Structure 1
Amino acid sequence: MIEAQEPIIVEFPLRGEWLAPNTPGTKIPSHGTDGLGARYAYDFIQVDWEKKGWPAYRVSLPQYLLFGVPLNKYYCWGQEVYAPCDGIIVKAEDGYEERERTNLLSDLSNAYKNAHYFNPKKDDIQSVAGNYIIIECGGRVYAALVHLQTGSVQVSVGQSVKKGEVIGRVGHSGNSFAPHLHFQLMDSSDISIANGLPCAFEQYDVFQDGGWQKVINGIPTNKDRIRVD
């Protein structure tokens, strides 16, 4: 699903195998809202493709439902995050503590509260974004990499970065239902007022018909098994 506006091509911000449960390749707005620059945003997680339901954690479903899951039991937590473009770091926020484990009820409550009651004029954007990095890619295009692991941000404001450079790690900070990378392009460095911009990824593989197929300038759907070397 691609709207009339041509997507901006960037490099995939992760390595290894990934799934995008929320993606503009399946619906727009991908997160059910145009707010906070999220119209074309992606969420990326890692899953066990061999298990029913593609779980994102190394524990049983009953344990997840009853007791929650420690962050280190999630496949993607702590995975390296890479700069999707050459650019300048315009925001690099760290120090926002992650909850030590996921909990279905409290995480749902937190997500509902932020979705319905967050006021960008008076509330701290870190309560939603957690630890995050914003890169100015040029031409009024800004890349946001959100919910990063506490203490993992490796860049600072004003620093130049090259595409493919490690800049942080996948985390569970802010308004995060489970460890994942939230990624979006925007027309402003201020998430609270930004409009989302459509983007596609310059190269990745998708597992189809028993083998890996190369995709150029693609937008994955929420069923695609994505691989980036």
Structure 2
Amino acid sequence: MLNVMRAEPEPVIVDFPLRGEWVAAYTPAEQIPSHGSDQLGQRFAYDFVRIQRDEKGWKFFRPPIIAYALFGVRLKDCYGWGEPIYAPFDGVVISANDGWPERKRLHFLRDTAVVLKNGLFFNLEKPGDLRSVVGNHVVLKMRGREVYAFFAHARLDSVRVHEGDHIKCGQYLADVGHSGNSTAPHLHFQLMDRANILEAQGVPCGFRAYQALIDGVWREVKEGIPGKREFIRYGE
């Protein structure tokens, strides 16, 4: 677990928003900005993907890799798709946005082309419908602090909260999905200093407690920052 945030403010510690076993595909433990940009408040953002580990390698879907390359795979055949997302702290829902469709099958070339197109034509001055980039999403304000959590790419019709709802830590918010700029079902999660992602600055974030697979052994981690491609698990 690298810590490249030493020169940054102390991370805000929250609960992990998923259950079971996940991998951080993007993490501020590897680089800052974690996604290569400070835009949209994502300086310290994470992408969490559910991946199968076996002797043949890692993959995020059940069918053979050749099927993914040639024909694509169905969303329901992806390990992370539809997994619940939970509130990482007590707070209030600032916005809850659903209704953006998901591509029904994953295909590497097509999904990559969509992401590149959206990235090239996205304009901060005239952003249009943000769901085309961030997909179905929720913004949650932490109780008592000007800290906001942003959850992106949720499954279509899965958002279970509404603007103004008061939320308890661990409450079910939505499901992991493949909406917006997504090449695989995943949760994009970040903390910010304000609700509007067009104006927000990222806030460093660590997780209160989880287990990390280190040298083949699951070990307890307190107030940690998951490393890139580090297997972590929580709650199950």
Return the match for 2:206 from 200, 205, 208. Answer: 200
Return the match for 1:176 from 182, 195, 198. Answer: 182
User: Which 5+ residue runs of structure 2 have no aligned equivalent?
Assistant: none
Q: Are 1:217 and 2:223 counterparts?
A: yes
Q: Are 1:6 and 2:10 counterparts?
A: yes
Q: Are 1:47 and 2:51 counterparts?
A: yes
Query: Deviations along 1:178-225, whole A, 9 cap, x unmatched?
Result: 100000001111112211111000000011233211000000011311
Q: Greater shift after overlay, 100-109 or 197-206?
A: 100-109
Q: 1:133 maps to what in 2?
A: 138
User: Which 5+ residue runs of structure 1 have no aligned equivalent?
Assistant: none
Q: Distance in 2 between matches of 1:199 and 1:125?
A: 23
Q: Distance in 2 between matches of 1:111 and 1:51?
A: 31
Check conservation: 1:141, 1:185, Cα contact below 8 A: yes
* Aligned length, in residue pairs: 229
User: Partner letter of residue 125 of structure 1?
Assistant: L
How far residue 51 of structure 1 moved from its aligned partner, in angstroms, is 4.1
Return the match for 1:162 from 165, 168, 175. Answer: 168
Q: Are 1:116 and 2:120 counterparts?
A: yes
Q: Percent identity?
A: 47
Q: 1:146 maps to what in 2?
A: 152
Q: Are 1:88 and 2:105 counterparts?
A: no
User: Partner letter of residue 124 of structure 1?
Assistant: D
Q: Are 1:15 and 2:42 counterparts?
A: no
User: Partner letter of residue 2 of structure 1?
Assistant: M
Runs of 4+ in structure 1 off by over 3 angstroms are none
User: Partner letter of residue 27 of structure 1?
Assistant: Q
Q: Are 1:105 and 2:96 counterparts?
A: no
Go from structure 1 to structure 2 and tell me whether the alpha carbon gap of 1:52 and 1:31 turns closer, same or farther (over 3 Å shift).
Answer: farther
Q: Are 1:68 and 2:92 counterparts?
A: no
TM score, norm. by length of structure 2: 0.94
TM score, norm. by length of structure 1: 0.97
